C-alpha cells in the first residue's frame, strides 16, 4: 500500500557523544560500548530538533538522576526523539515507578490463573471446559477532565483493545466514575460528557455496558475519575502473547493512520493536572473511532485463528513506542522499524511525534515469516489500512529509522523494564487525628426517619443511576442475564461469543455455557478516613455483591487513583490502602490479575482527590438457578437479615464516614465501620450455600445508606420494561427483632459491615434461619413483603411511606439535577 511522504525536522546530537550538562553531571565522551548516536540527514539547517537541555529534560518530567541513568544506558546523550521515548516509558502510567514495590504485595496466584498480573496486557482466568476470561480495568482520568467526551470514549476503546490483543472477544464492559457535586454547572458538563463518551464508544462498537458505579463528592470536583473495565472470552488454546518472537519475522502496523492526537498522553497522565497543563495538553486527548475499532477487533481475531501471528500488541499508552519496546523486551529480542512506512494523516510529522502519538485503534502484529500474504488478505477483507513497518532482530535493541537515518537506538529491555523504582516517604496524614476524635455524643439521634430515608435515597451517590445506564446498550450480543440495577451483573458465555476457532479445533455447540458475574466497588470516603479499613471494605463489598448474585470470586483487577505520591501523606494513604486490598483479596481467594495506577489526581487549590482504590471483582455462577437479584419478588415473602444489625464494638455504631453523616449532617468524618474479614468470609460462604440449597428469592447487601436504604432499594429497584418499574412494599419490624438498639439512626442508617437482606417464601424461613445460625451467621426475621407502602417500626415509633414516593426520589434525582439550568 502507499504511504504519505513525511518530512521530519530534527537536529543532530553531538557527534563526539558529549552529553548535555545537567547539575551534578559531568560532560564526558561516550564509552566504546555506547550505542551509535542517531545520525543527521540531509541539510542540517532543515533538521532543527530542540537541543536537549536541563529545561527540556524537566519538561519531560524526568529528574536529573533519571537523565543520568539514560546516559548510562545509552552511553551517550539521547536525541530529542529518544528523550521523548524515555519520558513516556518511564512515566508512572507506563512504568509504575512509584508503586511497583507496593503492587508486588498483591496476591497474584491461584489454580485458575492462566496469565497473571504484569505478564501481559490483561489477566486471564480459567472458567472450566477449556474456556477462559480476560479482564482488566484502566483509568482515563486526566483526558476526561480536559475533554470529557473523547477522554471517556477513548478510555473505553483502550481497555477493549487490551482484551482482544490477548486473543479474547470483548463481551462486556463496566465503569467506575467519580465527579464533584451535581449542583455545580461544570460538574454537570463533565458528567454529561463522560457518560456520553462511554455510551457512544460502547454502543457503536457493540459491547454491552452492563454494570458500574457513580459517586459524587467535592474532592473530585477538579479531577473526575473515569475507570473503564472490559471482559472478554476465549479458549485456552487462543491465548495470545504480546511478544516479538521469531528472528526475521515481519512487523505489521494495522489501523488508522497516525496523527498528532494523543501526543505523549502517558506523560500527561503522570503529572498534576493544572489549568495551564490542561490547556497545553488538550492535544494529548485522543480521538476515538469505535467503528474502526470494531473492524480492527474482528480482523485481529480472524487473523489469530489462521495461526499466522507470532505476537500482537495494541498501541495504547505511549503508542508505537510502548508496543515496539515491550514486545521485544518480553521475547528477549530486538525490533527495527521504519517510520516512513507508518501511515500518517498529518503532514511533516517528526519522528518524535510518530513515536509518541497515541492515535487510537492501532495494533502492532508480529507475523510468522512467509505468511505475509495471509495477513494482507485478512486486513484487506476488513478494509483496514496496514503496512509492514519492521522486522524482529536478535540485537535486543529498539532501532527506529526515519528517512533512512537512525533516530532512536535503545536497549529494549532496559527501556521497558529498568525504569527507576522509588520508595517514597510515607507519613500518616495530620487530619486523621480529628477524624479519630469524632464521637456521637454531640450528634442528636434521629427525629424524622421518613424524611431522612427519602433524602438519602435521592442523594446522588445512592440514587438510581438509570440516567447513566439508560444511555448504554446493555443488551447487545444477547448475553446479558442480570442488567444494571442489581448488586452485580451477570452474562452468559455462549458459543457464538467466542473468537473464531483455529483450524482443527473441536466444534463448540455442545460446550456448556458459563455464567460470569462482575461488579466494581470503592467507597472513597472510607479510604480517606481510614485507608487500611477502606481498602479492605472495597474488596469485601465487591465480594459481597458477587455472593448476593450467587457467584464465587475468581479474580480481581484494581485501579489505584490517588494524588501526588511525592506528598508523604498521600503516599501513606496509598500504602495503607494497598495493604488492606491485598489482605482482603487473599481472604476471598481473589488474586489480582492486573490493573492500573493513576496518580497525580489533584488540581491546584482544590487539592487531591479522596484516595480511591477501585476494585472490580469477577466470579462464576455455577448454575442458572443460582442467579439471584436484589429486588423483592412476591407478596407475603419473609424478609430476613443476615449479619449483626449494629456492630456494638464500633464506638460510632457504623455511622463513621456514612452517607447519613455526609448527606444529613454535612460531615465527612469519623472512623469508618470495622471490616472483619473472617466474619465477612463466613457470611459470604453461608449465603452462597443458602442460595445453592434453594429457597432464597432475593439478596441485597447493606452498604451506602445502611439497612433502611437496602430495604427500600429492594422494594423499588426492579425494572420490567423501559422506564417501567415494578414496585412492591414491605412491612418491617425492627423493634421486635432488635429491641436493645440504642440509637435509631445507627440501626436504620449505620453502615455496619457484613450484612445482607434476603427474602424467601414463609415456609423456608425457619430452615434458612437455622442453617445460617448453625454456620455462625447471626440471622433474624425482620419483615414481610407486600402492599404499596414501606412501613418500618422501631423502638422510637413507626413510620410509613408510599413506595411510589420512595421510587420517585430515588429514580429521578440525578435526572432532575442534570436538568437544572
Hey, which residues are catalytic here? 93, 140
**Strand ranges across the sheet with 123-128:** 113-115, 123-128, 131-139, 225-235, 169-179, 209-216
**Strand ranges across the sheet with 250-254:** 309-314, 363-367, 250-254, 386-393, 334-338, 397-402, 405-411
Helix and strand numbers, DSSP H then E, in the chain: 28, 28
Phi, psi of 514, rounded to the nearest 5 degrees? -110, 150
Q: Collapsing DSSP states into helix, strand and coil, what is residue 447?
A: coil
Q: Collapsing DSSP states into helix, strand and coil, what is residue 578?
A: helix
Closest CA to 749 of 481, 370, 389, 457: 457
One DSSP character per residue, 326-355 reads HHHHHHT-EEEEEGGGS-BSSTT--HHHHH
C-alpha span between 351 and 332 (Å, rounded): 25
- Strand pairing partners for 618? 518, 555
Q: Residue 710 is inside which H or E element, if any?
A: helix 706-716
Asked whether 543 and 613 are in contact (CB, 8 A), the reply is no
One DSSP character per residue, 83-131 reads HHHHHHHTSHHHH-TTTHHHHTTS----TTEEE-TTTSSSEEEEEETTE
Q: CA 322, 498, 593 angle in degrees (round to 5)?
A: 45
Asked whether 226 and 141 are in contact (CB, 8 A), the reply is yes
Q: Is 58 left (phi over 0), alpha (psi -120 to 50) or beta?
A: alpha
394 burial level (CB within 10 Å; 0-12, 13-18, 19+): exposed
Closest CA to 615 of 601, 599, 594, 630: 594
Beta strands in 562-611 (DSSP E): 592-598
DSSP3 helix / strand / coil % (the chain, rounded to 5): 40, 25, 40
Length of the chain: 821
275 burial level (CB within 10 Å; 0-12, 13-18, 19+): exposed
C-alpha span between 817 and 820 (Å, rounded): 5
* Assigned C-alpha cell, 460: 446522588
Amino acid at each position: 500500500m502507499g504511504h504519505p511522504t513525511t518530512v521530519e525536522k530534527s537536529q543532530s546530537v553531538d557527534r563526539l557523544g558529549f552529553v548535555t550538562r545537567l547539575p551534578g553531571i559531568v560532560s564526558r565522551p561516550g564509552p566504546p560500548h555506547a550505542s551509535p548516536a542517531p545520525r543527521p540527514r540531509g541539510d542540517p539547517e532543515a533538521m532543527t530538533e530542540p537541543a536537549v537541555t536541563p529545561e527540556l529534560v524537566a519538561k519531560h518530567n524526568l529528574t536529573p538522576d533519571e537523565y543520568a541513568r539514560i546516559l548510562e544506558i545509552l552511553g551517550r546523550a539521547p536525541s530529542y526523539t529518544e528523550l521523548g521515548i524515555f519520558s513516556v516509558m518511564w512515566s508512572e502510567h507506563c512504568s509504575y515507578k512509584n508503586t511497583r514495590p507496593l503492587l508486588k504485595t498483591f496476591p497474584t496466584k491461584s489454580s485458575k490463573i492462566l496469565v497473571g498480573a504484569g505478564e501481559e496486557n490483561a489477566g486471564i482466568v480459567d472458567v472450566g471446559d477449556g474456556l477462559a476470561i480476560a479482564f482488566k480495568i484502566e483509568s482515563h482520568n486526566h483526558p476526561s477532565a480536559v475533554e470529557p467526551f473523547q477522554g471517556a470514549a477513548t478510555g473505553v476503546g483502550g481497555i477493549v483493545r487490551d482484551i482482544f490483543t490477548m486473543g479474547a472477544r470483548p463481551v462486556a464492559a463496566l465503569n467506575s466514575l467519580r465527579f464533584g457535586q451535581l449542583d455545580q454547572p461544570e460538574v454537570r458538563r463533565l458528567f454529561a460528557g463522560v457518560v456520553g463518551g462511554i455510551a457512544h464508544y460502547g454502543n457503536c462498537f457493540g459491547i454491552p455496558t452492563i454494570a458500574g458505579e457513580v459517586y459524587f463528592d467535592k474532592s473530585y470536583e477538579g479531577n473526575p475519575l473515569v475507570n473503564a473495565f472490559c471482559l472478554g472470552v476465549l479458549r485456552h488454546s487462543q491465548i495470545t502473547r504480546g511478544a516479538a518472537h521469531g528472528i526475521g519475522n515481519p512487523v505489521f502496523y494495522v489501523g488508522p493512520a497516525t496523527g498528532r492526537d494523543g501526543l505523549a498522553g502517558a506523560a500527561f497522565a503522570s503529572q498534576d493536572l493544572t489549568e495551564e497543563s490542561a490547556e497545553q495538553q488538550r492535544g494529548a486527548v485522543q480521538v476515538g473511532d469505535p467503528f474502526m475499532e470494531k473492524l480492527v477487533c474482528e480482523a485481529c481475531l480472524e487473523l489469530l485463528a489462521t495461526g499466522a501471528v507470532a505476537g500482537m500488541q495494541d498501541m495504547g499508552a505511549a503508542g508505537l513506542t510502548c508496543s515496539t519496546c515491550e514486545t521485544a523486551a518480553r521475547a528477549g529480542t530486538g525490533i527495527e522499524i521504519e517510520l516512513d512506512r507508518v501511515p500518517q494523516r498529518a503532514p511533516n510529522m517528526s519522528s518524535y511525534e510518530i513515536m509518541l502519538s497515541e492515535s487510537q485503534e492501532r495494533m502492532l502484529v508480529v507475523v510468522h515469516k512467509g505468511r505475509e500474504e495471509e495477513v494482507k488478505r485478512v486486513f484487506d477483507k476488513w478494509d483496514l489500512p496496514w503496512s509492514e513497518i519492521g522486522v524482529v532482530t536478535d540485537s535486543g535493541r529498539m532501532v527506529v529509522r526515519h528517512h533512512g537515518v537512525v533516530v532512536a537506538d535503545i536497549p529494549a529491555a532496559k527501556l521497558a523494564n529498568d525504569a527507576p523504582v522509588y520508595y517514597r516517604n510515607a507519613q500518616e496524614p495530620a487530619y486523621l487525628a480529628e477524624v479519630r476524635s469524632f464521637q456521637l455524643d454531640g450528634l442528636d439521634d434521629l427525629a424524622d426517619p421518613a424524611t431522612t430515608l427519602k433524602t438519602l435515597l435521592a442523594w446522588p451517590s445512592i440514587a438510581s443511576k438509570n440516567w447513566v445506564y439508560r444511555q448504554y446498550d446493555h443488551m447487545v450480543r444477547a448475553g446479558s442475564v442480570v442488567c444494571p440495577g442489581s448488586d452485580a451483573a451477570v452474562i452468559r458465555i455462549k458459543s457464538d461469543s467466542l473468537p473464531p476457532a483455529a483450524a482443527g479445533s473441536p466444534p463448540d455447540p455442545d460446550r456448556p455455557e458459563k455464567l460470569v458475574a462482575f461488579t466494581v466497588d470503592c467507597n472513597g470516603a472510607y479510604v480517606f478516613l481510614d485507608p487500611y479499613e477502606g481498602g479492605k471494605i472495597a474488596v469485601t463489598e465487591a465480594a459481597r455483591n458477587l455472593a448476593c448474585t450467587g457467584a464465587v470470586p475468581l479474580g480481581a483487577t484494581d485501579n489505584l487513583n490517588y494524588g501526588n505520591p511525592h506528598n508523604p501523606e498521600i503516599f501513606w494513604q496509598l500504602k495503607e490502602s494497598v495493604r488492606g486490598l491485598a489482605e482482603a483479596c487473599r481472604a476471598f481467594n481473589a488474586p489480582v490479575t492486573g490493573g492500573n495506577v493513576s496518580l497525580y489526581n489533584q488540581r491546584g487549590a482544590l487539592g487531591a482527590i479522596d484516595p480511591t482504590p477501585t476494585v472490580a471483582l469477577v466470579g462464576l455462577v455455577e448454575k442458572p438457578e443460582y442467579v439471584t437479584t436484589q429486588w423483592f419478588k412476591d407478596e407475603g415473602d419473609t424478609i430476613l437479615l443476615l449479619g449483626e444489625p449494629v456492630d456494638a464494638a464500633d464506638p460510632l455504631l457504623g455511622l463513621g464516614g456514612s452517607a447519613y453523616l455526609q448527606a444529613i449532617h454535612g460531615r465527612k468524618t469519623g472512623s469508618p465501620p470495622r471490616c472483619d474479614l473472617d466474619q465477612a468470609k463466613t457470611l459470604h460462604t453461608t449465603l452462597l450455600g443458602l442460595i445453592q440449597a434453594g429457597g432464597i428469592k432475593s439478596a441485597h447487601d447493606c452498604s451506602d445508606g445502611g439497612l433502611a436504604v437496602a430495604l427500600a432499594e429492594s422494594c423499588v429497584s426492579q425494572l420490567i420494561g423501559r422506564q417501567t418499574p415494578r414496585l412492591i412494599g414491605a412491612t418491617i419490624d425492627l423493634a421486635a427483632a432488635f429491641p436493645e438498639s440504642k440509637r435509631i439512626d445507627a440501626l436504620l442508617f449505620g453502615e455496619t459491615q457484613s450484612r445482607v437482606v434476603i427474602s424467601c417464601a414463609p415456609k423456608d424461613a425457619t430452615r434458612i434461619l437455622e442453617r445460617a445460625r448453625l454456620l455462625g451467621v447471626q440471622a433474624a426475621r425482620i419483615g414481610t413483603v407486600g402492599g404499596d407502602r414501606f412501613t418500618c417500626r422501631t423502638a422510637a415509633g413507626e413510620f410509613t411511606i408510599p413506595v411510589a414516593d420512595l421510587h420517585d426520589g430515588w429514580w429521578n434525582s440525578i435526572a432532575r439535577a442534570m436538568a437544572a439550568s
